[in-house]
Structure 1
Amino acid sequence: MSTPRIAVIGTGFGGIAAVIELKKRGFHDIVMLEKGSDVGGVWRENTYPGAACDVPSPFYSYSFEPNPRWPHRFSRQPAILDYIHGVVDKYDVRRHIRLNAEVTGAAYDDATGTWTVALAGGEELVVDVLVSAVGQLSRPAYADIPGRDTFAGPAFHSALWDHDVDLAGKRVAVIGTGASAIQFVPELQQEVAHLDLFQRTPPHIVPRMDKKFSPLHHKVFEKVPVTELAERATWYSVVESLSIAWVYSKPLARGIRALSRSHMKRQTKAKPGLFEKVWPDYPVGCKRILFSNNYLPALAQPNVDVVTDRISSITPTGVVTADGAEHPCDVIVWGTGFKATEFLAPMEITGAGGLPLAEEWKQGAHAYYGMTVPNFPNLFVMYGPNTNTGGGSIIYFLEAQAKYLGDYVEHLVEAGAPLEVRADVEQAYDDAVQAELGGSVWSQCTSWYRQADGRITTNWPWLGAQYKARAKFRAADYEAVSR
């Protein structure tokens, strides 16, 4: 198998990193299957007002493709999508892409050692290696609230923003207070007549050290590239320190909690009682910590109410809370996040012997370093189980995974047969990961990091640097599969 046929599902940061690495190693028989009409993944889909990255752009970008012309330190969605377009063009990725090609499933053929990939239109493709790069944050989640479908006005998820709906002068209900909501709520507050924010559990918020990069900054970054490397290294250290706090240093975690409390107290003093509503009662780091300078001041405005009573139902005209009060509204915006623990769904994947991936993962998704799964030869997952970061940049992880994929495919060619991770190796790895996560800060509250049964399937339990150091391809971890 000198030139394996490779299919990559998804054209976000993970899929693009995978293809660039494979091409660098001389593998060019690649097709990228994208269900949307453009590349970009979450940065194509999320166009809500104020959409931006909460990791500084010098670190939230490929190490091999620094961008000296970021408009801001914390870049907005259009700038990130522009960056992705630029990378796709520069590295000759675009010619591999098929847009509007939604994958519905894939089946491994034991006899031929190949994957048959099914597309929504009925077409099938046969490939040797299947790479899923659909990510953890691609399928919007909604709260299961009685009467949700009875609401008579416009209602949409933040990841599927309806820009045709005019919110000026309207009464708007926002359900959810996660990373997206803290970005779009300040934008909405300035436009709407009234905003009710329905909060189940508040996030810890720390200052957002944003900066608009001037033409002078751009010139210095371009002429003296080491300055941009220094900016990247600085922010690597800052965000990795969050992981150090959650994993290794309770004193550092206490310092971050104190910083958050001071920041949140200062920003809510204009509205008596607001701080008590928005200050979390769980350990710092258990949920994703958020960076914002304008969210809490927006909540302090007279046209915003923070509602902490549980929602009991939705009616055609508004939201009813457990205390019996109805909160009338014209529009509902769901800021309820994503189905992060349902990896690869809704695609139906079957492996060796016809084993459904859903069956392999019925107790929770698991994979060796988040990438390879027993009984699924030549299936590779980018941003898979337990590779999310509680503090760093996912692109750092994706680059490590792309390198692993390159080594994997090179060994596959040498072996001349499909490769499958050894079940005992993957099981020992998963046991170690879950043992560490069981005592981690993420086990101490309910969040999108956890399944309903408490198993944490999203987060890597140690530092990003440790992932990069440990996630190295070793031929001994795999066995060739006879056809």
Structure 2
Amino acid sequence: MTIRTTALIVGAGFGGVAMAIELRRAGIHDFIVLEKAPSLGGVWRDNSYPGAGCDVPSPLYSYSFEHNGRWLRRYAEQPDILAYLERTARKHGVTDHIRFGHEVASAEFDDRTARWRVRTTDGQEFATVAFIPATGQLSRPAYPAIPGIDSFRGRSFHSAEWDHECDLAGKRVAVVGTGASAIQFVPQIQPKVARLTVFQRSAQYIMPKRDHAYDRWYHWVFRQLPVTQKLDRLGFWLYAEFAQECLSRWRFFTPLFRRQAEKHLREQVPDPELRRKLTPDYELGCKRVLFSNDYLPALTRSTVDLVTDRITEVTPTGLRTADGTDHEVDVIIYGTGFAAQDLLAPMKIHGLGHRPLGDAWSEGARAHLGITVPGFPNMFLMYGPNTNLGGGSIIHMLESQARYIRDAVTTLVEYPGRYLDVRPAAERAWDEEIQGRLQRSVWTRCRSWYRNEHGRVVANWPGRTYEYRRRTRRVNLDDFRVGAVG
């Protein structure tokens, strides 16, 4: 039996929940959220590794309409963020719309009915007017393409799929990767293990994390004077807007941030040889800037080795590097990030004329406003291409997208049997503008997950969040071809 609905949202993380709340606000209750996991939360459900937390201040890493006076720290940790999202979803009636344990396998637009046919891996079928993938850019763990990766006889897992049954105490542990996740869990596991070997492909710029606990006094002030919480959020937002402009346009400020990172490294790593290994050879901001007070000190411990030689092979007993050294370990942890380039995978999506989305994105994902793709009517992306931020809170971007998509869905409800297909000229003009601005940004200066093999920056937004909010304030129907059934 095919289940019919007005809107179908895929994913129940921050993006999916924001979208569901916007639909309910617009009086649209005929929608379904499909979530492949048994609970909501997205990346904040999956990334439960020791020390998992956010590097955006908690007053800003929250919905603008749902301030939280119960944050435990300025930089919230994973359990606190997940609890906030769960409370918000319950409060706004979203959980009643979620169908857990439903993974989408395929979606195809049917121009005879102006509906998407969406099928799940267990064979269920849905017919929906609006198809809204909210799976995000960072939802699928990426393992490195290293020969022999399946030959290791010990325990191995990705940081986003942390094996909590694996006792690391007294073990020889290898960590592959030194990105945003690794710098959080390495200091947590280092005191427990017998030997820790960290394999670094490239050094990271690490800034001090201005973190502190929110004690009872903070919570009392926030409760008694709610305006203080808004001012707190405003202050962080203004600084994030400044940082975003520094990365995309005002690069003359870069030396100030670089000197801060260099000072942090000097103060925390006294050994000049180790400090040399930890000094980046690219421009600050080209890769994601990281924040930590305890990662660098952890690397200075006598039980820790930092290896910068390239891994050539995973063996049954460990890892072999390009210098011929065999590093024997008991456990391998891959902190190697996510398949950010493979947006919407592994879903098979076909638009008008049965055209695969992969064909439209043969040189990299692209979408008008990061939301709509020509030839794929009534498909609206949350956290789509070129909507990631080098600085600031992605939740601000998600709220902008949710409001824009709500406007589009409301239009489709008012005119049943119609569909909105963004014009290729509108998408092309948008893409040319964004890619032109990105060419002047720091993100084209090195290899990173922001860019694909064709050199396109497919992840990041080149402006301020305020600009994006303004440009997505409402749907401009002139940008769309309006189709009709029959």
Shorter-chain TM range is over 0.9
Report 1:184-333 matches (<5 A). Answer: 184-269=185-270, 271-333=271-333
- The match for 1:30 is 31
Contact 2:18 2:399 in 1 (8 A): yes
Residue 188 (structure 1) shift: 1.1
Quick one: distance in 1 between partners of 2:282 and 2:22?
41
Which whole-Å deviations, capped at 9, do the CAs of 1:5-55 have from their partners, x for residues lacking one?
110000000000001011101100010000001000000100000000111
**Alpha-carbon distance in structure 1 between the residues aligned to 2:372 and 2:331:** 43
Match of 2:384?
384
Is 2:344 the counterpart of 1:344? yes
Unaligned runs of 5+ residues in structure 2 are: none
AA at the equivalent of 1:160: E
Specify the SS of the correspondent of 2:107: strand
**Secondary structure in structure 2 of the residue aligned to 1:108:** strand
C-alpha displacement at 1:384, in angstroms? 0.2
Q: Answer yes or no: is the 8 Å Cα contact 1:411–1:475 preserved in 2.
A: no
User: Could you say what secondary structure the match of 2:168 adopts?
Assistant: coil
Rounded to whole Å, the distance in 2 between the matches of 1:451 and 1:244 is 22
Listed one character per residue, the Cα deviations across residues 65-120 of structure 1 (whole Å, up to 9, x for unaligned) are 00011000101100001001100110011110000011111111111110111011
Distance in 2 separating the partners of 1:481 and 1:346 = 28
Mapping for residues 432-447 of structure 1, pairs under 5 Å: 432-447=433-448
Structure 2 SS opposite 1:58: coil
Structure-2 residue corresponding to 1:361: 361
Shift of 1:436: 1.6
Q: What does residue 476 of structure 2 align with?
A: 474
CA RMSD of aligned residues (A): 1.1
Percent of residue pairs identical = 49
- Secondary structure of 1:5 counterpart: strand
CA deviations on 1:192-215 (whole Å, 9 max, x unpaired) are 111110000111011100110001
TM-superposed deviation, 1:305: 0.8
Task: Provide, for residues 214-252 of structure 1, a one-character-per-residue CA deviation record: whole Å limited to 9, x for no partner.
Answer: 011111111111111111111112222221211222232
Hey, what's the Cα distance between the residues in 1 that align with 2:341 and 2:265?
30
Partner residue, 1:48: 49
Letter paired with 1:344: L
Cα shift at 1:4 = 6.3
Q: How does 1:85-234 map to 2 (within 5 A)?
A: 85-234=86-235
| Structure 1: gaps spanning 5 or more residues | none
* Contact 1:158-1:180 within 8 A present in 2 as well: yes
Question: Residue 460 of structure 2 aligns with which residue?
Answer: 459
* Count of aligned pairs: 480
Alpha-carbon distance between aligned partners in 2 of 1:337 and 1:139, rounded to the nearest angstrom: 9
How far apart, CA to CA, are the structure 2 residues paired with 1:441 and 1:74? 26
Matches within 5 A, 1:56-67: 56-67=57-68
The alignment partner of 1:201 has SS state of coil
SS in 2 for 1:481: strand
Question: How big is each residue's C-alpha offset from its partner over 1:403-462, in whole Å with a ceiling of 9 and x where there is no partner?
Answer: 101111122233431111111101110111112222321111111111122111110111
- Say whether the 8 Å CA contact 1:10–1:33 is kept in structure 2: yes
Q: Which is worse superposed, 351-360 or 381-390?
A: 351-360
Contact 1:74 1:210 in 2 (8 A): yes
Question: What residue identity is the alignment partner of 1:387?
Answer: T
Q: Which 10-residue stretch deviates more, 226-235 or 329-338?
A: 226-235
How big is each residue's C-alpha offset from its partner over 1:250-307, in whole Å with a ceiling of 9 and x where there is no partner? Answer: 23211011111111111111x3411100110100000000110000000011111110
Q: Distance in 2 between matches of 1:190 and 1:237?
A: 38
User: 2:112 aligns to what SS in structure 1?
Assistant: coil
User: What is the Cα deviation at residue 475 of structure 1?
Assistant: 1.6
Asked if 1 retains the 8 angstrom alpha-carbon contact of 2:174 and 2:198, the reply is yes
- Corresponding residue number in structure 2 for 1:373: 373
CA contact (8 A) 2:249 2:440 kept: no
Cα-to-partner distance string for 1:178-201 (whole Å, 9 max, x where unaligned): 000000000011111111100001
Distance 1:244 1:145 in 2: 37
Give me the whole-angstrom Cα distance separating, in 1, the residues matched to 2:290 and 2:206. 5
- Cα distance, 1:470 vs. partner? 1.7
Secondary structure of residue in 2 paired with 1:305: strand
1:408: which partner in 2?
Answer: 408
Question: Is 1:39 the equivalent of 2:63?
Answer: no
Q: Which runs of 4+ in 1 moved over 6 A?
A: none
CA contact (8 A) 2:5 2:32 kept: no
- Give the counterpart letter for 1:248 in structure 2: R
Paired residues of 1:4 and 1:413 also in contact (CA < 8 A)? no
Q: Secondary structure at the match of 2:197?
A: strand
CA shift for structure 1 position 314:
0.9
Task: Give the distance between the partners of 1:62 and 1:448, measured in 2 at CA.
Answer: 26
Q: Distance in 1 between matches of 2:96 and 2:60?
A: 27
Residues 400 and 471 of structure 1 are in contact (CA less than 8 Å); yes or no, is this contact kept in structure 2? yes
Q: Distance in 2 between matches of 1:359 and 1:248?
A: 32
**Using the alignment, how far apart are the partners of 2:279 and 2:412 within structure 1?**
52
Amino acid at match of 2:304: V
Q: Could you tell me which amino acid in structure 1 is paired with residue 457 of structure 2?
A: I
* Worse overlay, 414-423 or 66-75: 414-423
- Quick one: distance in 2 between partners of 1:157 and 1:115? 34
TM-score for the superposition, normalised by structure 1: 0.98
Q: Is the Cα contact below 8 Å between 1:4 and 1:27 reproduced in 2?
A: no
